[in-house]
Amino acid sequence: MIRSAGPDEQSTRNSPEEHPPVTVPPQADSDGGAGSRTIPEASVARLALYLRMLGELAEQGTETVSSDELAAVTGVNPAKLRKDLSYIGSYGIRGVGYEVRALLHQLERVLGLNHRQAVALVGVGNLGHALAGYNGFGGRGFPVAALFDVDPDLVGIHINGIVVEHVSAIPEVCAAQGVTIGMIATPGPAAQGVCDLLVGSGVRCILNFAPVVLQVPDEVEVRKVDLAVELQVLAFHVARRHVAGHASASNGSAANGTGGNGRTRNGHASGVRTFPLVDGTTTSEGRA
């Protein structure tokens, strides 16, 4: 069955709150038992953040960390952090906190990082080339194992020691490399065909940088990264702060006896103040 992840769904794929809970597969827990736990998607995203900070603490030689300390460096509310960690069966020790390395390994297990997650990148243009050359993926447990493109000038070159293959080789190369995650950085029109090849090769998780909505089977997870949308969201916040600052300045002028139009006001003066809106238009407010 093919489903289409609509614009509203895929545009919020970067927002963890919009995802359904994730069930951690049955496996040995820290107490030696086995079981599965359902973790909210928002908590999963924060677990990845805790993992990154714990890795930095481990590199610094830190042995234990309190929930308040870990919450402070990750920018998360301490109570929320403790709740997140309780989903994976980690509660810390009163007065001591969490053992950094033990919690680090536990998070790696829960997030599936205790085994290799090979990544295939399709499209090595400007963005794709930058992604292919980024060494941070391998350091986080996501080595880029295969590169693909259709450009004759790119096929056959080496990036970070990996040869760029033609997209027609996706099925055999992905199978040989044990690819579990695909990244798509192609132009929009080519993305769906590339996605179909990846899915047909057994890839069930896709990170999509292409500006299109992909159609995928129900069992395939797609997360969309649209940098233009993220910039538009930031532009909204910039505009909102601008409006708030203008309103604050107008209120300050009013408190000093000067109206928004620069004329001196008294208790009986009348006039109209004009406020800019986020979309660039204006609205007027009468006063008596």
Three-state DSSP string of 50-102? HHHHHHHHHHCCCCEECHHHHHHHHCCCHHHHHHHHHCCCCCCECCCEEEHHH
Q: Known binding site for NAD(+): residues?
A: 123-128
CB-CB contact of 110 with 24 (8 Å)? yes
Q: pLDDT tens digits for 164-197?
A: 999 999 999 999 999 999 999 999 999 999 999 9
Amino acid 190: pLDDT = 96
CATH tag, 118-228: 3.40.50.720
Percent of the chain predicted with pLDDT > 70: 74
The mean pLDDT of the chain is 79
**Which residue ranges does the chain devote to CATH 3.40.50.720?**
118-228
Amino acid 91: pLDDT = 75
pLDDT at 33 over 80: no
Ranked by mean pLDDT, which of 17-26, 55-64, 78-87, 162-171 comes out on top? 162-171
Amino acid 63: pLDDT = 93
Q: Rounded to whole angstroms, how far apart are CA atoms 127 and 185?
A: 7
Would you state the structure tokens that stand for residue 175, as one six-digit string?
Answer: 């199978």
Amino acid 181: pLDDT = 96
Ranked by mean pLDDT, which of 128-137, 194-203, 243-252 comes out on top? 194-203
Q: Known binding site: residues?
A: 123-128
pLDDT at 160 over 60: yes
Amino acid 40: pLDDT = 86
Identify the sign of the CA torsion 229, 235, 239, 244: positive
Mean of the pLDDT values across residues 89-103?
86
CATH topology of domain 2-110: Arc Repressor Mutant, subunit A (1.10.10)
Mean of the pLDDT values across residues 24-46?
60
Mean of the pLDDT values across residues 50-75?
92
Percent of the chain predicted with pLDDT > 90: 52
Helix (H, G, I), strand (E, B) or coil at 109: helix
Q: pLDDT tens digits for 240-268?
A: 888 887 777 777 666 665 554 444 444 44
Amino acid 151: pLDDT = 96
